[in-house]
A and B are shown apart, each in its own frame.
Chain A
């Protein structure tokens, strides 16, 4: 079966711009979680969506937001980009939540200049 698909793979944006990242989970998976991965901070939880509802949110500013559609595809948006937002953004899909095991996508590498 198809894995978790994230688009685009790479992005370069300018400070102050906004960006939208997309994640298509494995067919049948209803939970999508988003993580920010940086060399200094490791993997930091952003938020999780299940059946179009945000069930959990990490400690990121309100500039980071997301949503999930009825087909379980999810998007995350970052507004007013800062240099520190440069990171690999990973989404992970699972049947019902983290304790059922995640499958990660390949990520979107965001560079803010």
Chain B
């Protein structure tokens, strides 16, 4: 089955810096790659997603890139703010109905 590796497990940055989180996946048939943000005690929320026919997607300070050949995708957050502090999960899916395989998560801390 699909396996998703996510790095780093923790990331600490200063406010205003950029943050990058990377994921690799194993199933070349996966075609949907969402990113979720989970604040402490809250539900995971979809922040951005990308499909395999697109190489990059941006939404304000957030961008995701996908390299299908290398089977990896990354989340880029620019001009980080303290409210960006949360756990971020990458996921891969699209080959099995209703199933996403998640990475282990990255704890992002943005220091004021």
Interface residues of A (CB under 8 A from B): 31, 33, 35, 42-43, 45, 48-50, 55-56, 58, 90, 94, 97-99, 101-107
Give the residue of A42, A94, A99 whose beta carbon is less than 8 angstroms from that of B102: A42
Please state if A45 and B45 are interface contacts (CB–CB under 8 Å).
no
Would you call the interface of chain A mostly helix, strand, loop, or mixed? strand
Chain B residues closer than 8 Å to A48, beta-carbon distance: 97-99
Whole-angstrom CA separation of A97 from B103 in the bound complex? 19
Give the residue of B99, B104, B105 whose beta carbon is less than 8 angstroms from that of A45: B99
Shortest Cβ-Cβ A-B pairs, 8 listed: A48-B98, A43-B102, A99-B32, A55-B97, A104-B43, A98-B93, A99-B94, A33-B98
The count of A-to-B residue pairs whose CB atoms sit within 8 angstroms is 63
Give the residue of B31, B36, B44 whose beta carbon is less than 8 angstroms from that of A99: B31
**21 A–B pairs (Cβ distance < 8 Å), ordered by A:** A42-B102, A43-B89, A45-B99, A45-B100, A48-B97, A50-B97, A56-B96, A56-B97, A97-B98, A98-B32, A98-B97, A98-B98, A98-B100, A99-B31, A102-B34, A102-B100, A104-B36, A104-B43, A104-B45, A105-B43, A107-B43
Interface residues of B (CB under 8 A from A): 31-32, 34, 36, 42-46, 49, 51, 89, 91, 93-94, 96-105
Whole-angstrom CA separation of A45 from B97 in the bound complex? 12
Whole-angstrom CA separation of A90 from B49 in the bound complex? 20
